[in-house]
Structures are given as structure tokens and as C-alpha cells.
Structure 1
Amino acid sequence: MGSDARDEDGRSDTLMIAHYDQTTNDVKLISIMRDSYVDIPGHGMNKINAAFALGGPELVRKTIKQNFDIDVNYYALVDFKGFPKIVDLLAPDGIEVDIPYEMSHGIGMTLHPGKQVLHGNELLGYVRFRHDRLSDFGRVERQQEVLGKVKEQIGVSSLMNIPKILGVADSYIDTNVDNKTILTIAKGIVNGKSKGMDTLRIPVAGSFEDKRENVGDVLDIDFDKNKQALEEFLSSKDHKKNAKTDDVSSQGTKVSN
């Protein structure tokens, strides 16, 4: 869960589910759109990002379980202020991205078009920008892109820096994952030579409609389709490529697998 200091009602700005298989060393990442219209236990229908404001990580866990039938074992609440520092430790050489157009509104900086290597605060601006035709869909795609590229750069040097990384992260991340588990996962990713990172966006293509409810603009989703997509994504042994969003219109979002 990513927290936004500018969000006065304390809603989670970003919600992702990470899955790591210690046997295969596969890493999978699921992004849940924050406007997904779900049943929050004890509070009724609302946007899923309201769950954190209403009951913290535990209510988010219960909400995911109730709506998508997924048991989440651990949580990590990330303050975006710490994102630049942690990313710079994991990927000291920066992350190469291809910016399609100027990005400036709402991120406190101007990112110019073209291929370039971004560090720290620039990367934060890149993953948070959402004032274009893709809105939150584009933002989620950029977040998955950057995390995938950060993972690609995790190597022996990153493993050696784990104590330093944990020290920095401690000030910006609230988590119930113990350091021993974090170190075990990090070693598995490095020593197991994990390849790439599979990603999925919820709701999936063709499974939602844009609607206006009393809580604002929401994504009214087909839960059966999305639960099936999640089950297949998490159990598939042959999934090799990332799920990418090409067209985010509710009439026909395209996802290539």
C-alpha cells in the first residue's frame, strides 16, 4: 500500500499484491485500481482505497479476501517520501524509461519526452503522474514497469546492501514482514536467478464499467471474471509475459499475454 501525504482522508494511493514462490522463484505483481467499487466489511460499498482509511491494513486484507477470495499474509505500507531513497539503493544506476510526452501536472517537476535514465525523485514523479488520457490506468502501468526494472537490477551488490536498505526503509515503511523473511526472499531472487516479473491489473479487460455512485466515479467490476483471472494468474506455470494495458476504455480494454 502506498500512502499519499497529500490525501487528507488517509486513503491508500496505490494498492498492489506481490506473490513470491520460493520453489520456482517466480515473482508476480497484481495492481488493484483504487477506484474499484467493492464491499468493505462493516462499511458497505465504496472505493477500495477507502478501506485503509476506515480500518488500516487489516481492513484492506479483509476487503481483498471478501471481494477477490485471496488471503494476504503480510502488508507493507510505504510512505512515498521514502520511495526515491529506497529505489536509489536498489538501482543506483537509475532506471531507463521512455517518456511519451511531457509530464508535469501534479508531480512538482517537469519530465520531458524521450528515452532517459531517471533516479529518485524523478522516478517518483514518473510513477505518480496520472493527468493524461490514460489517467490511473497509465499510472498503474508505469508503476509496474518501474518495479519490474528495479527487480531486474537486484543482484549480489543489492544483497550486500540489505542491512543499509532495511535501515533506510525502516523510517518509511510500516510492515509486519520480519527482516529474516525479507532477507530470505532477497537471497532467493538473487541466487535463484528469478527471471522477470509477471504483472496483472485488476479489473482486467472487459470486466468493468465506469459508473457514478454516491462515493464518486467508480469502476463497477465483474467479480467472477476478476476472481477467475486472479486464480489463473497466480496458479499458471506457463505465464511468461507481462499483462499490458493498451486501451483503457471500458468498451474494450486490450490486454496482451
Structure 2
Amino acid sequence: MKRKRKAAKKTRKAVLILLFLFLLGGAAAASWMKNDYDRAREESLRQIEESGGSLENAGDIEFNSPVDDLDYINVLLVGLDREDGSSRTDTIMLAQYRPNEDKARLVSLMRDAYVSIPGYRDNKLNTAYFLGGLELLRQTLKENFDIDVHYYAQVDFDGFVRVVDTLAPSGVEVDVEKRMYYDGGGSLVIDFQPGPQIMDGEDALKYVRFRNDYENDFGRVRRQQEMLSILKNELLSLSGVRRIPQVLGSIEPYIQTNISTQKLLSYGSDFFLSGIDEIETLTIPVDGSYVDATYPHAGAVLELDLEENKQALHDFLEIDSPSSLTSHGSE
């Protein structure tokens, strides 16, 4: 056990050293890293141009975040589906990092949760993004769960595929728990047999998108959390460390974030040297705190016991108890 921890610590130090060298790009010792980064970035830009796509500049995104003057940060993670030319939120997560306590937590928020959306009628959580982008989604989380979000990071399906293929060129190993099959009429076909599988980026994306069983979105969220854990382990491996410049270059055109390079370096160095082996996870709504419902304007939704879920979220994130808000209070 001690040997394993020692090896992990060495790997994290290697990651930090590489990050420092990379950010100093002009140094001779880091020139090969810059070249890897530039090549990967240019390849991503070429693919985007060939597909006729375009990406939003982070500077054009409205996000009125509070000052992160606490001993933790909350980051809104959004996965986008741009397949039909529009942008829909396929994944909504909230990550919390406490550098002074060496703790990292990840909350998956069900996109079909029926919530109050400021300025609009109640609807699914992912409708907030459709109506008003990241800023309205931030306001919606604040109003319903009394949660402050300091930063955001959003990436689309193409970016996810590039991350997997760059970080694990030989694929990632996933133990598929059951037969998974879905035929979306040609637009999306998912076909996995049970047992260990080696998945490339496209297969990994299909795996985390599958929802056509009795678990529906809950199973999909569980598989997303599983895949993030697999990718974290790949990143912390020695082979993963060497591919960091390629990973960063590959996803840079696909990702938008308001986290500055300075803060990324600060939080990144803390994280890699902290010894965090497992990321704690939670799914909202929690078990037994919701019922299935249907509304003409929203379709099938999850109607939450808002107070129970608000309390569960605050307990998990170890923040002050929710303020006494009604189910449809204001920010």
C-alpha cells in the first residue's frame, strides 16, 4: 500500500512539473511539449472547420459568478450535444474542490428534474440552458438549491471523443454490466455485449449516452461518473502524463471556461499533489425524493422534494444549511 501511494505521489509530481514547463512554453526544455500541444490543437481546429462547425468564445459567455473567497470552489460542468446544429445540455454536473482539505466531490444533476427557472415557467433543468445559457442555468441552481457556482467549463461531444482518444490511444477498458442496444434510426446506434470491452472515444461516448433500459437517465449518469473515474486514472498514469500536452491541445478548441490559467495552475498543482485517489459522487435527486410526472409543456419530468434534495446537496458539499426558501423562491 505504501509503495502504491509513493508511486502515485511521484506521478502527481511529474504532472505538476510538466504543467509548469508547458506553461513556460518558450523554454527549450518544454519545446517538444509546445509542439505536441500545437499539433493537437491544429488538428482539432481542422476537424471543426471540415465539419462546418463553430464554437462559442468564452469571452462572449455571460456568467455572473460570485467571488470565490471561500475555502472551496464550485464548478459547473456542462456537456453539450451540438449534433443538429443547436446546443442542448446532455450532461449537467457540479464539481467541488477543497484544496485545504484534499477533497473533491462530483454531483450529477438529472437534466429532467422539474425546477423553477427565473423569469420563466417551471420546466426541466436543461431547459434553463436552452432559454438563457450558462448564466440562467447558474441562476436556476441558486434559486432551487441555494448553491453558488464560481466557475464553469463546457465541452461538446467531439471534445469528449478527442479527450478519450488522446489520453488513451489504445482505448479504455470498461466492464459492460449488461447487453446495451439502441438504434436511433441511423443517427445513433449503440451495441455493446456484456463483459470487458476496449473502447475508443466514439464507443466511450456511446456508452455514457446509453439510457434505453429500466434505469433510464439514472443509469446514464452512473456510467458518466464511472467513465470520469476511468479517465482520471488514465491521466494519473505515467503514459497519461506524457500525453497532457496533446490532451490540452486537443480539447482547447472544444472547451469554454472562465477559469484563468493562473487559477488552473494553482488548483491543478494542489490537486495532483494532494493524494486524492477517489472522487466522492452524488446524484440529484437522491433515492426516494422524487416522483415521475408529466406536463404538457415539459413532457416527462422528475418532480422533486426540493427541500430534501437541497439538504442532501448541502450535506454532501459540507456547506451551510439551505436558507429558508420556498420551492419557488427567488435568488
Same fold (TM over 0.5): yes
Kindly tell me: are residues 3 and 193 of structure 1, through their superposed partners in 2, closer, same or farther at Cα, counting changes over 3 Å? same
2:107 to 23, 27, 30: 30
Whole-Å Cα distance in 1 between the matches of residues 271 and 183 of structure 2?
36
Whole-Å Cα distance in 1 between the matches of residues 220 and 143 of structure 2?
26
Structure 2 spans left out of the alignment, 5+ residues: 1-77, 320-331
Contact kept, 8 Å, 1:154 with 1:190, in 2: the verdict is no
Q: CA deviation at 1:209?
A: 0.6
Q: Which amino acid aligns with 2:248?
A: L
Does residue 209 (structure 1) correspond to residue 286 (structure 2)? The answer is no
**Number of residue equivalences:** 236
TM-score in terms of structure 1 length: 0.84
Does residue 126 (structure 1) correspond to residue 126 (structure 2)? The answer is no
**For residue 306 of structure 2, what is the aligned residue in structure 1?**
223
Does residue 105 (structure 1) correspond to residue 187 (structure 2)? The answer is no
Instruction: Report the more deviating stretch, 107-116 or 207-216.
Output: 107-116
Q: CA deviation at 1:146?
A: 0.7
Q: Secondary structure at the match of 1:49?
A: helix
Does residue 144 (structure 1) correspond to residue 225 (structure 2)? The answer is yes
Q: CA deviation digits over 1:177-232, x for unaligned, max 9?
A: 22332333333232212121111000001110101112111110011101111111
Q: Which amino acid aligns with 1:22?
A: P
- How is 1:40-79 mapped onto 2 (pairs within 5 angstroms)? 40-79=117-156
Q: CA deviation at 1:12?
A: 1.0
Task: Considering Cα pairs closer than 8 Å and 6+ residues apart, tell me whether 1 or 2 has the greater RCO.
Answer: 2
Q: CA deviation at 1:131?
A: 1.1
- How is 1:177-192 mapped onto 2 (pairs within 5 angstroms)? 177-192=259-274
**For residue 253 of structure 2, what is the aligned residue in structure 1?**
171
- Is the helix fraction higher in 1 or 2? 2
Q: CA deviation at 1:78?
A: 1.0
Structure 1 spans left out of the alignment, 5+ residues: 237-257
TM-score in terms of structure 2 length: 0.66
Kindly tell me: are residues 118 and 186 of structure 1, through their superposed partners in 2, closer, same or farther at Cα, counting changes over 3 Å? farther
Q: Which has the higher Rg, Structure 1 or Structure 2?
A: 2
Q: Which amino acid aligns with 1:177?
A: I
1:233 to 301, 316, 328: 316
Alignment RMSD: 2.0
Identity of aligned residues (%): 45
Q: CA deviation at 1:175?
A: 1.4
Kindly tell me: are residues 90 and 186 of structure 1, through their superposed partners in 2, closer, same or farther at Cα, counting changes over 3 Å? farther
